[in-house]
Amino acid sequence: MNAPLVRLTSLAHGGGCGCKLAPSVLQELLAGELAAGPYRQLLVGTETGDDAAVWQVDPNTCIVATTDFFMPMVDDPYDFGRIAATNAISDIYAMGARPVMALAILGMPVDKVPVEVVRKILEGGATVCASAGIPVAGGHSIDAPEPIYGLAVIGTCRPEQVRKNSGARPGDAIILTKALGVGIYSAAIMKGALDGAGYAEMLASTTLLNKIGAELADEAAVHAITDVTGFGPLGHGLEMARGSGLTLTIRFSDLPLLAKAKQLAESGHVTGASKRNWASYGNDVVLPGEMQEWQQHLLTDPQTSGGLLIACAPEATERIRGRIVAAGYPMASIIGRAEAGKPGIRIVA
């Protein structure tokens, strides 16, 4: 981590995917959106809160489009750029597509952030795009009161490769590809409570591209994919449960965690977004009676550039998980199953 010329986090009222509107507010804003009208070629819109829009342009080709941006969760500008770009590209992979091009979205308080800092942010984003094999083909910038950076990303896939968050089936196993605790780590950063090893662990996770999503799109046994970001594992799991009309049963003991997540959560390093998340969707979650407060916070913890949540046929579970681990996601874990029942989530110990 380089010593910053200015603490980027000091200029933002929130950071990373914790900046998202609360799930309940977003639902209210999008209520009825695209509910009527002949969108014959729009395969995925806003109906189920999926990760990107999908437009079928011919019998063999879909265009996948998304945008994602946020305020800094770290002070190092290069690292901020890398995390934000990785997070934005994730939406394309979560749909089963491969990215082809990105446009930069930049807002900076030009009177507070030196030009060299802004340049480092853009360099970080461009580095990740190069790793994904895509150009940053342009973008837009404004003078803003808080620093903002992200990408609009375009991808492509075949129609049969599209993976919605609403395709889970009864009996499916649920796999999570990355460890949880990014929001808790970011809260610790704000208070100077995360050491160098913890920072490196968080950076390795948040800059790991979710390329495995596009690879799994050719697996008939993989029925649904979504990425876990600002609404936490519960919020994005609920989107899958509601869209699929199923109950997800999640085993807390099987959730993969960053090394210091439990310790930091027990010490109270929790984001405000974690509490807003629970207030938004807690009524659709059944917790075990013995659950402690720090455990609940891990379930609602906003994940910036988090892993993929995958629903797959039970007979293929171990093979799919093994493929994910072999592709470079060592924390990939089987965390639960989908069952017939009222849409919602049930947590078991």
**Helix pair angle (293-300, 272-281), 10° resolution:** 90
| C-beta neighbour count of 171 within 10 angstroms | 14
264 close to 184: Cβ distance less than 8 angstroms: yes
**Residue 17 among the catalytic residues:** yes
| C-beta neighbour count of 299 within 10 angstroms | 24
* Residues contacting 255, CB < 8 A, separation 6+: 176, 180, 233, 298, 333, 335
Strands 98-108 and 136-143, bridge-based pairing: parallel
Instruction: Name the 3-class secondary structure at 85.
Output: helix
105 DSSP β-pair partners: 140, 150
How do the residues of the chain divide into helix, strand and coil, expressed in percent and rounded to 5?
40, 25, 35
User: Which position among 17, 19, 157, 312 bears the catalytic label?
Assistant: 17
- Could you give the CA distance from residue 54 to residue 166 in angstroms, rounded to a whole number? 14
Type of residue at 213: G
Helices (H), the chain: 23-30, 77-94, 115-131, 182-190, 196-206, 212-216, 232-244, 261-266, 272-281, 293-300, 317-326
- Could you give the CA distance from residue 214 to residue 91 in angstroms, rounded to a whole number? 11
Q: Which residue numbers are catalytic?
A: 17
